[in-house]
Amino acid sequence: MSYTLIFLCALGSASFLYFSTDAGEAKSLNVAGAQRMLSQRVAKEVQMVAAGVEDRTQAQQTIEQWERAHQWLLNGSEEAGVRDVAKQIDDSTTRAADVIGQAQQGVEQQQSDTDQVATAVNEMSATVQEVARNTSETAEASARADDRAGSGQKTLSDAAAMVQALSGRMGELQQLTTWLQEESKEVGTVLSVITDIADQTNLLALNAAIEAARAGEAGRGFAVVADEVHGLARRTQESIGKIGDIVDRFQSGTGEVAKAMLKGQDEAHHGADAMSEAESTLGNKPTALGPRGIISRCVGQSS
């Protein structure tokens, strides 16, 4: 390295001055000028090294020692002074070597930190790519969810319309059932009249049989007719009884049907209202993820 060469030159110069027996001879060789150039060169190199060292105080002290050595080289003419200068140059060289070692360690540490930063940047880049991929997938899922939400809204609207129509039909059926109940009551009234007629016919047949018995042989034919009328009245009463039972069961059944129809109509109304409300709510939110879906699309496009 250039620093080592400078220090060797400095040591060589100091040795030269040390073994010279005459200070005047050293001056005649223009040692002062050479040492001035050497000192300036070394000071410049040490300053460059000091720029990369954390302990700038130590580097400054080293530079100051070099400057003092430079002054002593310029002013010193005795052998003892030259020895002191040589010793100081040697000490400064040692310290400068330490400073250079520290600088080298700093450079190595900086290189290690730089490698770590590069590794972190690479990992961050991979993470950003992964986030971009996940964001893109999220945006696609959001788009699919939006499509499904649109389809769901249409299906819900159709279902609400069907429930509303069903509610209307059930209302019509409930009205029809109510009409059937009223008609069955009329049938019951008619059956009651027929029952009264049958009872009266039965009484007339009984009276006719009594009168035929009184008439003797002359009323025999009339007695046969009376028996037929009595039998007809009896069968009519039996039929009316059966019809009455049927009408009673029909009225009971239509009553239950009317209640079920009314309850179903109410539930259909509630269902239609709930579907209409859900359709309105879904219509106010056309996107499944709302702002998140928009952000996902923006991030996916920017990445």
Q: Residue 100's pLDDT is what?
A: 67
Q: Residue 143's pLDDT is what?
A: 79
Q: Residue 288's pLDDT is what?
A: 42
Where b means 16+ CB within 10 Å and e means fewer, 105-118 reads eeeeeeeeeeeeee
Q: Residue 299's pLDDT is what?
A: 47
Handedness of CA 111, 117, 120, 126 (dihedral sign): negative
Cα Rg, the chain, nearest whole Å: 63
Count of beta carbons in the 10 Å neighbourhood of residue 272: 20
Q: Residue 1's pLDDT is what?
A: 46
Most distant CA pair in the chain, distance: 201
Q: Residue 118's pLDDT is what?
A: 84
Q: Which domains does the chain have, with CATH numbers?
A: 2-126 (1.20.120), 140-302 (1.10.287.950)
Q: Residue 70's pLDDT is what?
A: 55
Lookup: tokens for 133: 């991929």
Q: Residue 112's pLDDT is what?
A: 83
Q: Please report, in tens digits, the pLDDT of each residue of the chain (303 residues total).
A: 444 444 444 444 444 444 444 444 444 444 455 455 555 655 565 565 555 544 556 556 655 665 666 566 555 544 455 556 556 666 666 776 676 677 678 778 878 888 888 888 888 888 888 888 888 888 888 777 777 777 777 777 777 788 778 778 877 887 888 888 888 888 888 888 888 888 888 888 888 888 888 888 877 777 888 888 888 888 888 888 888 888 888 888 888 887 887 887 788 778 778 777 777 776 665 444 444 454 444 444 444
CB burial of residue 197 (10 Å; 0-12, 13-18, 19+): middle
Given phi > 0 = left and psi -120 to 50 = alpha, else beta, which region is 65?
alpha
Q: Residue 291's pLDDT is what?
A: 47
Q: Residue 2's pLDDT is what?
A: 44
Query: What is the value of pTM for the model shown?
Result: 0.39
- Closest by CA to 181, choosing from 278, 102, 248, is 248
Where b means 16+ CB within 10 Å and e means fewer, 119-143 reads eeeeeeeeeeeeeeeebbebbeebb
Lookup: tokens for 252: 């009971």
